């Protein structure tokens, strides 16, 4: 890999720009394919670029079948597409004790983590070193964070005036996971309130509650394990 | 977390070490790490990341060091049935192809 390619690849990752690294396995030549640009090495036809960009969107790395590429008949596919997408995101609403552990575990699992809590005493740098903190009201915060299909949202405040506005936004977003802390009883009341606010049954069914996989978790750390496990299971279509 | 591995590769290279990258480009059966898994190797054999559950890393490091010497990329195949070509195999019964390239 040329230094130039490596540096551009690292910059794209820092800037959170999706990019596919395409390698010709027989020559070692490489190109970087962005959604709006191509940089480097060897010529790719428009229909190759379309396929490569589709795979980038699907986060699908692998060998690509381009029968019109020279040598395909003898050697088979020899172009490798390595999709580099920005990390999955986890937005945690409620800078509570469980959140302190969940954010560390999510970071280890490769998630970019944001904690939302207007209560500055909870969402403090001292309690969440190095974590992105947002102090605006949860609905405003989630609107500004622009939830996409690579985002998971977990509400942990236990407080209707903070959790409900967050859920109103999250349940109408393409988030791949929405979870909310609270017992069955708390959750039943929550569903009543959100229903009155105009959320549909389909939207309400998206909430994972009580949050987390049922592993008998008791301590904040154990609950955090159950939550991150459920987020991973949702992402990998294993729920 | 493959970005951490690329950053490690760039750091090592910046320190003047020779570095190679190994990437899983294809898998069959129950291979331990998915396509796109990456490992960086330096000239002394230090590793960051992985391309299997530890079964083939030793052999990959060996090939990576050859790649650092001659700058020729290599496409390696590992599988349990491939004993003729490789003394190392995957206990899980899977098969993987690993592409090894030098960082210039």
Burial per residue of B56-93, b for 16 or more beta-carbon CB atoms within 10 angstroms, e otherwise = bbebbbebbbebbeeeebbbbebbeeeeeeeeebbeee
pLDDT value for A222: 98
B94 Ramachandran zone, left/alpha/beta (phi>0; psi -120 to 50):
beta
CATH number for position A231: 3.40.50.720
**In this structure, are A126 and A44 located in the same domain?**
no
**In this structure, are A79 and A95 located in the same domain?**
no
The stretch B6-13 carries a mean pLDDT of 95
Last residue of a domain, one of A58, A84, A110: A84
**Domain layout of chain B by residue ranges:** 2-103
- Predicted confidence band of residue B89 (pLDDT cuts 50, 70, 90): low
B chain contacts of residue A62, beta-carbon cutoff 8 Å: 25-26, 35-36
**In this structure, are A96 and A203 located in the same domain?**
yes
pLDDT value for B42: 96
Query: How far apart are the C-alpha atoms of A173 and B3, rounded to whole Å?
Result: 28
B chain contacts of residue A82, beta-carbon cutoff 8 Å: 23, 36
**In this structure, are A154 and A224 located in the same domain?**
yes
Domain of A10 in residue numbering reads as 3-84
Last residue of a domain, one of A30, A58, A84: A84
pLDDT value for A18: 96
**In this structure, are A13 and A80 located in the same domain?**
yes
Return the H-helix or E-strand segment holding B46: none
**In this structure, are A111 and A166 located in the same domain?**
yes
In a mutagenesis test of the B interface, which of A32, A58, A80, A105 is the best target, namely the one with the most B β-carbons within 10 Å? A80
**Do B100 and B60 contact (CB within 8 A), yes or no?**
yes
**In this structure, are A8 and A117 located in the same domain?**
no
**In this structure, are A120 and A58 located in the same domain?**
no
Q: Count of domains in chain A?
A: 2
**In this structure, are A98 and A125 located in the same domain?**
yes
Last residue of a domain, one of A36, A68, A84: A84
- Summarize pLDDT for A132-148 with one digit per residue, the tens: 999 999 999 999 999 99
- The ipTM assigned to this model is 0.86
**In this structure, are A194 and A112 located in the same domain?**
yes
A chain contacts of residue B2, beta-carbon cutoff 8 Å: 84
């Amino acid at each position: 890999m040329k230094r130039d390619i490596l540096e551009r690849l690292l910059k794209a990752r820092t800037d959170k720009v999706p990019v596919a690294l395409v390698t010709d396995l027989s020559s070692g030549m490489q190109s970087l394919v962005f959604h709006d640009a191509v940089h480097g090495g060897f010529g790719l036809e428009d229909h190759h670029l379309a396929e490569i960009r589709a795979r980038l969107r699907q986060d699908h790395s692998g060998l690509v079948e381009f029968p019109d590429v020279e040598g395909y008949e003898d050697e088979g596919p020899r172009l490798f597409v390595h999709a580099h997408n920005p990390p999955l995101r986890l937005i945690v609403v409620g800078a509570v004790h469980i959140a302190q552990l969940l954010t560390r575990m999510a970071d280890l699992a490769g998630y970019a983590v944001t904690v939302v809590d207007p209560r500055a005493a909870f969402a403090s740098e001292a309690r969440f070193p190095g974590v992105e903190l947002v102090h605006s009201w949860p609905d405003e915060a989630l609107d500004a964070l622009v939830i996409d299909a690579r985002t998971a949202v977990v509400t942990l405040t236990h407080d209707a005036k903070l959790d409900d506005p967050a859920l109103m936004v999250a349940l109408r977003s393409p988030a791949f996971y929405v979870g909310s802390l609270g017992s069955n009883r708390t959750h039943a009341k929550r569903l009543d309130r959100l229903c009155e606010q105009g959320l549909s049954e389909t939207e309400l069914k998206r909430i994972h509650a009580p949050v987390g996989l049922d592993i008998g978790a008791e301590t904040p750390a154990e609950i955090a394990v159950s939550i991150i496990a459920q987020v991973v299971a949702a992402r990998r279509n294993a729920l | 977390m493959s970005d951490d591995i690329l950053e490690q590769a760039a750091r090592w290279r910046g320190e003047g070490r020779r570095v190679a990258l190994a990437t899983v480009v294809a898998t069959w059966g129950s291979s331990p790490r998915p396509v796109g898994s990456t490992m960086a190797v330096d000239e002394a054999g230090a590793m960051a990341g992985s391309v299997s559950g530890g079964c083939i890393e030793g052999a990959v490091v060996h090939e990576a060091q050859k790649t650092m010497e001659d700058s020729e990329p290599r496409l390696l195949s590992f599988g349990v049935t491939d004993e003729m070509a490789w003394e190392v195999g995957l206990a899980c019964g899977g098969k993987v192809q690993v592409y090894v390239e030098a960082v210039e």
